Structure 1
Amino acid sequence: MRRIRAAAIGAVTMSLALAASACGGGSSADGGGSNDSPKTLTYWASNQGASVEIDKDVLQPELDKFEEQTGIEVELEVVPWSDLLNRILTATTSGQGPDVLNIGNTWSASLQATGALLPWDQANLDKIGGKDRFVDSALGSTGAAGQDPAAVPLYSMAYGLYYNKQMFEDAGITEPPTTWDELIAAGEKLTGDDQWGLAVEGANPAENIHHAVVFAKQHGAEFFTADGKPDFTSDSAVAGVKQFVDLMATDKIVAPGNAEYAQNQSISDFAKGKAAMLLWQSASANLASQGMSEEDYGIAPVPVQSGAPGTGTGVNSMVMGINLAVFKNSDNLDGATEFVKFMTSDAEQKILNEAYSSIPPVKGAQADAAFNTPANAVLKDTLAGSAIAAPQVPDESQFETAVGTAIKELFADAAGGRPVTEDSVKAALEKAQQQMPTQ
């Protein structure tokens, strides 16, 4: 998922099973279309930049370029993250959606289960250059295992630990922390005089989920069993969620006000020197938009419990990013497929991912010098060796909302001075599990 997303609440709980029967009409699902296909496409883009207007400035020249090359006009709408999932779910049930859309990659399996999206089988993948063009870790977040992808990767991101170099120097800290114990120790030195050690987005369910999955995995937990059933209340899952919330509740290196943050306020605090550290996805473009120079901060791998990041309990990020999907009831599947080919071409991947400080999921574009800076090396290494995909289960979007909101409420408890205990964390996760659809 993208860094500025706030997962939509409400429509997430609608029955995805209704969608398959609701999305009919249009061209055939194999990507074929008539020779007189419309010369217009509609495209819902996610809000990747610091504002919707910045996204329009980035995207419109590329869409104009596509029109020059193909004669197909693309009508762009940039949809804020707070509305995007609601809009998509409504479109899957009504059949009234765009031709092409961005989806957070953690939603892939959930939206795949609706039956509304064009499957990217071998024939369709061949039309855009083939499956082998894409990085394996990005492909792992395009739908459930054993099924044709529901989307193709567009932007890839990973979490890093951003730290303020001057604040570290002033506090006598010579190296970024590599374990959570070290991060807490550094945070304690950096907290005081109207500044805090770390900033988080405590009221953002999506951000909460990204961290919860990683913390739980570092304790050896999975939120779903092998057969896809929710398992939110294991001792390891409780320990992971509690450790995350304890950064505010017990360790007190996160400002209580962060319990209300849901719209990039943590990035703003970091850029303005109100917080010395930030856990974020590919944040360079956002920080630059707020006036922070790349010289002012460093990027290190997200800490682990001990040792170094890697596989198993050394996981330190989810595989984040944006996928590009096509509604299979589009009346211009040929044009939509051509647009996906354009957006995932090496040339466009370089332009778009550089604009958003993300990593191209296309191998040919990753070789460009712009994506081989020291900062990007941390993120690329994370994606290659220590990041995991979100749970690829049909109920993933409900999981994000239920558990993400539970953690939001635990942060509110911490900010209000109410104790956050193993029992209270387990109760919150039990409540979240009860909100999941019955199997």
Structure 2
Amino acid sequence: MRRTRAAAACAVTASLLTAATACGGGSTTGGGSNDSPKTLTYWASNQGASIEVDKKVLQPELDKFQKQTGIKVKLEVVPWSDLLNRILTAATSGQGPDVLNIGNSWSASLQATGALLPWDAKNLAKIGGKDRFVDSALGSTGARGKDPAAVPLYSMAYALYYNKKMFADAGITKPPTTLDELIADGKKLSKDGKWGLGIEAGSPVENLLRGFVFAKQHGTDFFTADGKPDFTNDAAVAGIKQFVDLMAKDKIAAPGNAEYAQNQSVSDFAKGKTAMLVWQSASANLKSQGMADDAYGVAPVPVQSGTPGADKQVNSTVAGINLAVFKNTDNLDGATKFVKFMTSDGEQKILNTAYGSIPPVKTAQDDPAFNTPANAVLKDTLAKSAVALPQVPDESQFETTVGAAVKGLFADAAAGRPVTTDSVKAALEKAQQQMPAK
């Protein structure tokens, strides 16, 4: 049954799947073993400005781990556009890495495949115990009532990044706090070949994450209380249309953003081509692209009206990266040691500083590096106004289908085709039809 669910997820995205290949770390025996005690294969997600940046951040730490344990870690940094499909292919084929990064919102879906090692009390004790981790981060590690399918590695939230000079030149004295202010400021800033807001509209995952927040502000979760897809309700349609209208109607985002899918909107912001960016923990990414810390400000993402908070005032998903172990690893002991190493206080400080994220390990958060003004916004958002994506087994398919639907709507907007309530509803209806039958 678990393999059938994963196969259905793969079928949804068959046109995007890459061929399953043996990655040198996974066992084909179906159960964890220690047949290869001196090697591990690690799939890391692309967190920095580029894959090369990630390699420069991670390789010294992997070398440190090898020196401590004698275990060599083979690193592959996987782009977000490929990561979920690569994982699903590995889950169904039984051949993949030993350890991997997953988007925290995928935890319940990947848990349902049965491919990931459960982090029960015994396994958690090997890495210092459950109590080391922040509760909000643990809330996105798998379905409620089950042992976590992964452990938190990086915690992130969305914030509004704004170019101080571009704001001053346009006579704008403070960052917007409401959607109307965001649009009004964006129109003032969209001139002379520059744009008010950057959007990663070619990325299904990014579209889903931002679209979900817009829809949530209208009062929907996209799923009924019993976990059935409900993508075409009025609130979902209104939220998604409002998001796409930033390009289609309000025209504060460049039509070319409809093709952006891998940090291009961050690059545009760093180069002064756009004045505002809504992004997950972007400070380190911007620094790596040469943007000075004092060139931009960081503020909470605007809401419909009022101030960020719970329910319809949410302004971010509970974003983050979890670290998982494939159950069929050839080096179960080494994989566990690697997870312990990556979630140690020292490594948490190094890695989260490098990526501008927040450590999900409580004691690591005490470091002064995580008490900057930018991080204060992120921590406050995570504590007060961020919401987890639905922790349902079909969550990864939800991201894929709705994210692709929103991508198509942005393509319509970029091409000058009308984006209407009816066209948004039709796109969401098509997405819902692609979900696994209940």
Q: How does 1:43-122 map to 2 (within 5 A)?
A: 43-122=42-121
Query: 2:29 is matched by which residue type in structure 1?
Result: G
Q: Return the offset for 1:10.
A: 6.2
Percent sequence identity is 79
3-state SS of paired residue (1:101): strand
3-state SS of paired residue (1:162): strand
| 2:324 matched residue in structure 1 | 325
Q: Distance in 2 between matches of 1:73 and 1:418?
A: 53
CA deviations 1:387-433 (Å, max 9, x no partner) are: 11111111111111111111111111111222111111111111111
8 A contact 2:27–2:330 mirrored in 1: no
| 2:29 matched residue in structure 1 | 25
Query: 2:336 is matched by which residue type in structure 1?
Result: T
Q: Distance in 1 between matches of 2:160 and 2:49?
A: 20
Q: Distance in 2 between matches of 1:79 and 1:227?
A: 34
Aligned residues: 420
Q: Distance in 1 between matches of 2:198 and 2:79?
A: 22
| 1:4 matched residue in structure 2 | none
The runs of at least 4 aligned residues of structure 1 exceeding 3 Å deviation read: 9-14
Q: Return the offset for 1:331.
A: 2.3
TM-score by length of 1: 0.92
8 A contact 2:155–2:319 mirrored in 1: yes
3-state SS of paired residue (1:409): helix
Q: Distance in 1 between matches of 2:164 and 2:150?
A: 39
Q: Distance in 2 between matches of 1:69 and 1:191?
A: 53
User: Which runs of 5 or more residues in structure 2 are unaligned?
Assistant: 1-8, 15-25
Q: Distance in 2 between matches of 1:254 and 1:151?
A: 36
Query: 1:256 is matched by which residue type in structure 2?
Result: P
8 A contact 2:80–2:262 mirrored in 1: no
Q: Distance in 2 between matches of 1:177 and 1:360?
A: 28
Q: Distance in 1 between matches of 2:177 and 2:306?
A: 8
TM-score by length of 2: 0.93
| 2:22 matched residue in structure 1 | none
3-state SS of paired residue (1:89): helix
8 A contact 2:38–2:71 mirrored in 1: yes
Query: 1:67 is matched by which residue type in structure 2?
Result: Q
CA gap 1:23/1:227 in 2 versus in 1, 3 angstroms:
farther
Query: 1:227 is matched by which residue type in structure 2?
Result: D
Query: 1:298 is matched by which residue type in structure 2?
Result: G
Q: Distance in 2 between matches of 1:221 and 1:112?
A: 25
Q: Distance in 2 between matches of 1:140 and 1:199?
A: 30
| 1:220 matched residue in structure 2 | 219
8 A contact 1:203–1:261 mirrored in 2: yes
| 1:273 matched residue in structure 2 | 272
Q: How does 1:386-405 map to 2 (within 5 A)?
A: 386-405=385-404
| 2:338 matched residue in structure 1 | 339
Q: How does 1:237-276 map to 2 (within 5 A)?
A: 237-276=236-275
Q: Distance in 2 between matches of 1:398 and 1:23?
A: 26
1:136 matched to 2:140: no
8 A contact 1:26–1:331 mirrored in 2: no
Q: Return the offset for 1:37.
A: 6.0
Q: Distance in 1 between matches of 2:80 and 2:277?
A: 20
CA deviations 1:329-375 (Å, max 9, x no partner) are: 11221111111011001110000111111111111111100010001
Q: Return the offset for 1:12.
A: 5.2
